[in-house]
Amino acid sequence: MLVVNFPISEINSALFTHLICAFANVDSSTYQLSIPSANEQYFSSFSGTIRGKSPSVTTLLSIWNGQNATGQSILGNKVNYSVLSSMVSDSSHRKSFIESSMKTAKRYGFQGIDLFWLWPNGTDLNNMGKLLDEWRAAITSDARNSSEPELILTAAVRYIPNHETVSYPIESMKRNLDWAHVVAYDYLLPSRDNVTGTHAALYNPASNISTDFGINNWLSRGFPANKLVLGLPYHGYAWTLANPNDKAVGAPASGPAITIDGSIGYKLIRAFVQNYGYGAASAYNATYAVNVFTIGATWINFDGVETIRAKIAYAKEKKLLGYNAFQLSNDDNWALSLAASAEEENQENRRRLLLTILLPIASVFILTACMICYFQRKVIKITGIQQISVFII
């Protein structure tokens, strides 16, 4: 993951309803949350800085654990999550984790907690329902005893509900989560796949690897649309074509281009096109709903303004709670965020509500929710779309 300085004070928080700050880690001995000392100042000042500018914005603390040794993409590689696996398998470990998560979130002024665990195995998924049941019960009890609002509880999930032969604990998720944000990207990667691919295809006529296929699977399994948030990537990937004359989706490729793993943020993609495009522009492929730019042997696919608009329209059509974007620091002068907002206004002329998740130092992804928002475990009808963004420290 590319880490860049992105001061909290420079976030255009007026665009969002929720901001998620990431990431807190989990201690492998105590199963309690830990904040990296180098980033503690960002976590401690995050909520105050955001609400000082935009009092209506809700902030959440995101939890994950695991980073592979080479520092490769946290989304595109199966990282070792043994700490979370150990935590979720033991009732005393779960209790320690839950109590620590609530205490840490409240200490730093966050109004909710997000679990960002993308690669649970089959055993983990069987145990995850217990975690969510116990977590929600603890949150409800804490709110009752303290007379404070209940903490929001959310989780990131893979684009399809099944993993190997096991499914996510959908009934528990329906009961206990305020929403699940679908990580609908990093399907195909130049560091792993030897043909060009649309890493966040909304549709895919050639296979089931697409966002539409995944969303329909979640809905067919009974997960409510008004608790699903669609993921929007503010990054793309660059392949090196094996034959510069073969530029099609699925063309043979010889590995990543531009960066070590081929990942590149939208802001840098736009700069690359301007500097090396020699007047050429990216093309929007409506079949997949993706933007593609090719120059020489370099083939880049990403979500541009046209793609963002198509996906917001899709989220509205499916009556999803909203959309999320990963990550905010990759936006270019708020072009993608503004495009999402404009499309929502075109779809429905109502007041925009935007949700954002932030991580302390560097990257940001945005989650946006439509039409129904859950606060304090009560259903509140809202007009317009919520955008949730994640700010990564």
Mean pLDDT computed over 95-102: 98
Phi–psi pair at 253, nearest 5 degrees: -135, 160
Q: Which CATH number fits domain 8-233+304-392: 3.20.20.80, 3.40.50.150, 3.40.50.2300, 3.90.550.10?
A: 3.20.20.80
Q: Where are the alpha helices (DSSP H) in the chain?
A: 40-53, 82-88, 91-107, 122-146, 170-176, 211-220, 266-276, 305-317, 335-347
HSE (CB half, 13 Å, CA atoms) of 61?
Answer: 28
Q: Rg (Cα) of the chain, in Å, rounded?
A: 20
Q: Quote the CA–CA distance of 280 and 77 in Å, as a whole number.
A: 33
Whats the size of the chain, residue-wise? 393
pLDDT in tens, 173-232: 999 999 999 999 999 999 999 999 999 999 999 999 999 999 999 999 999 999 999 999
Q: Quote the CA–CA distance of 110 and 289 in Å, as a whole number.
A: 35
pLDDT in tens, 114-129: 999 988 888 999 999 9
| Start-to-end C-alpha separation, the chain | 11
Q: Which of 118, 271, 92, 109 is nearest to 181 (CA)?
A: 118
Residue 37 buriedness (CB in 10 A; 0-12 / 13-18 / 19+): exposed
The kind and range of the H/E element at 33 are strand 33-34
List residues bridging with 155 in a β-sheet.
115, 180
Phi–psi pair at 180, nearest 5 degrees: -120, 130
Name the pLDDT band for 323 (thresholds 50, 70, 90): confident
DSSP 8-class letter at 195: B
Phi–psi pair at 360, nearest 5 degrees: -55, -40
Mean pLDDT computed over 367-380: 30
Q: Quote the CA–CA distance of 231 and 218 in Å, as a whole number.
A: 14
Q: What is the pTM of this model?
A: 0.86
Q: Quote the CA–CA distance of 179 and 152 in Å, as a whole number.
A: 9
Name the pLDDT band for 36 (thresholds 50, 70, 90): confident
- Measured at the alpha carbon of residue 274, what is the angle toward residues 271 and 275, in degrees to the nearest 5? 85
**What's the pLDDT score for residue 353?**
39
Q: 393 in helix, strand or coil? A: coil
Distances (CA, A) of 199 to 85, 196, 211: 27, 9, 10
Name the pLDDT band for 348 (thresholds 50, 70, 90): low
DSSP 8-class letter at 12: -
Q: Quote the CA–CA distance of 254 and 180 in Å, as a whole number.
A: 36
**What's the pLDDT score for residue 105?**
97
DSSP string across 49-117:
HHHHH-TT-EEEEEE-----TT---TTTS----HHHHHHHT-HHHHHHHHHHHHHHHHHTT-SEEEEE-
Distances (CA, A) of 161 to 157, 172, 179, 218, 373: 8, 13, 14, 6, 22
Q: Quote the CA–CA distance of 284 and 344 in Å, as a whole number.
A: 20
How far is residue 70 CA from its own chain's centroid? Answer: 22
Q: Is the dihedral of CA 137, 141, 144, 149 positive or negative?
A: negative
More confident residue, 389 or 232: 232
Name the pLDDT band for 393 (thresholds 50, 70, 90): low
pLDDT in tens, 243-291: 999 999 999 999 999 999 999 999 999 999 999 988 788 999 999 999 9
Q: Quote the CA–CA distance of 356 and 387 in Å, as a whole number.
A: 6
How far is residue 392 CA from its own chain's centroid? Answer: 11
pLDDT in tens, 290-320: 999 999 999 999 999 999 999 999 999 999 9
Residue 82 has pLDDT above 70, yes or no: yes
Q: Are 231 and 184 contacting, i.e. CB atoms less than 8 angstroms apart? A: yes
